[in-house]
């Protein structure tokens, strides 16, 4: 079985995620798993679920007081950090305010739903993103729905592709970090990618979707090679 297939086998990756969270995965195996986890959101979602269970073990520990200097250092650090964080927050809102994607996303949903891109509500029933090219022209509409646990990508405009290249869909965590590949996308028509319940849960942490042309033989375990062609903000959709 190839390495890629091993990590896509739920039996195997769940066992590895569990060992990682319990702390029984060590050395190179741990590093390898971390690298894959950072690229594949289904691995990260499963690992997070187990980390949340094993994290309870810390409750059993006897409390030990650290020196007062620790808090002084932390306090100093976060006060220095505060202005930078405010700027970052402002720019994120600014990004939303150029809201073409937001307006188009609203067209995607049925009338009994509302789109709220600022919401972190756990009640999202779907997510939507309009992916635009460099000229801010909408090219792909992406919907991620809980009902059928699927990601659908509708290309509304053809994308010219060099021979030997295919389009890959990537997701970016809201809190930064490396983008993770979600799957291959057809350059015309509709593509459906199935997801599982853990992956659905993980969508709450995703801020941006992107599509880039990649070599057709790019394995999932390799990072993105090419410049992003399409990009869009992922917005949660909740029932009224």
Tell me, residue by residue from 118 to 137, as one string, x for binding to other proteins by CB under 8 A and - for no binding.
--x-x---------------
| Cα distance between residue 233 and residue 202, in whole Å | 16
Question: Measured from the CB of residue 110, what is the shortest distance to other proteins in angstroms?
Answer: 24
DSSP reduced 3-state for 163: coil
Question: Measured from the CB of residue 161, what is the shortest distance to other proteins in angstroms?
Answer: 35
Stretch in the footprint of other proteins (CB under 8 A) among 45-53, 125-133, 136-144, 163-171: 45-53
Q: Which residues contact 202 (CB under 8 A, 6 or more apart)?
A: 41, 42, 44, 45, 48
When binding is defined by CB under 8 A, the residue of 4, 9, 81, 98 that contacts other proteins is: 81
The answer to whether 152 contacts other proteins (rule: CB under 8 A) is no
Contact set for other proteins, span 47-66 (CB under 8 A):
48-66
Across the strands, what pairs with 151?
Answer: 144, 193
Question: Measured from the CB of residue 172, what is the shortest distance to other proteins in angstroms?
Answer: 13
Q: Are 209 and 97 in contact (CB under 8 A)?
A: no
Question: Is the Cβ of residue 48 or residue 150 nearer to other proteins in the bound state?
Answer: 48
When binding is defined by CB under 8 A, the residue of 3, 6, 85, 194 that contacts other proteins is: 85
Q: Are 123 and 238 in contact (CB under 8 A)?
A: yes
| Cα distance between residue 126 and residue 150, in whole Å | 10
Question: Measured from the CB of residue 66, what is the shortest distance to other proteins in angstroms?
Answer: 4
The answer to whether 197 contacts other proteins (rule: CB under 8 A) is no
The beta-strand segments (E) located in 27-158 are: 113-115, 124-132, 138-145, 150-155
Tokens of 17: 């995620």
The answer to whether 24 contacts other proteins (rule: CB under 8 A) is yes
Tokens of 233: 């903000």
The answer to whether 35 contacts other proteins (rule: CB under 8 A) is no
The answer to whether 174 contacts other proteins (rule: CB under 8 A) is yes
Its sign, for the CA torsion 199, 203, 205, 208, is: positive
Residues of this chain that bind other proteins (CB under 8 A): 14-15, 18-19, 22-24, 26-27, 48-67, 69-71, 73-75, 77-79, 81-82, 85-86, 120, 122, 174-175, 201, 204-205
């Amino acid at each position: 079985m190839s390495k890629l297939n091993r990590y896509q086998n739920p039996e195997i990756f769940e066992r590895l995620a569990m060992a990682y969270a319990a702390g029984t995965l060590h050395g190179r195996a741990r590093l390898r798993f971390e690298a894959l986890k950072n690229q594949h959101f289904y691995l990260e979602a499963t690992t997070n679920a187990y980390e949340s269970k094993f994290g309870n073990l810390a409750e059993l520990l006897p409390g030990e007081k650290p020196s007062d200097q620790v808090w002084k250092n932390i306090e100093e650090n976060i006060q220095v950090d505060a202005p930078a964080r405010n700027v970052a927050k402002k720019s994120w809102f600014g990004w939303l305010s150029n809201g073409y994607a937001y307006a188009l996303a609203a067209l995607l949903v049925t009338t009994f739903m509302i789109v709220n891109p600022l919401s972190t509500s756990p009640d999202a029933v779907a997510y939507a993103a309009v992916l635009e090219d460099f000229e801010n022209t909408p090219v792909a509409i992406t919907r991620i729905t809980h009902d059928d646990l699927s990601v659908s990508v509708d290309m509304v405009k053809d994308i010219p592709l060099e021979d030997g290249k295919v389009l890959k869909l990537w997701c970016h965590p809201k809190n930064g970090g490396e983008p993770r590949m979600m799957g291959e996308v057809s350059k015309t028509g509709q593509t459906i990618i199935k997801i599982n319940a853990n992956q659905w849960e993980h969508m709450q942490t995703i801020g941006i979707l992107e599509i880039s042309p990649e070599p057709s033989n790019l394995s999932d375990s390799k990072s993105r090679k090419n410049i992003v062609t399409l990009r869009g903000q992922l917005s949660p959709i909740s029932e009224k």
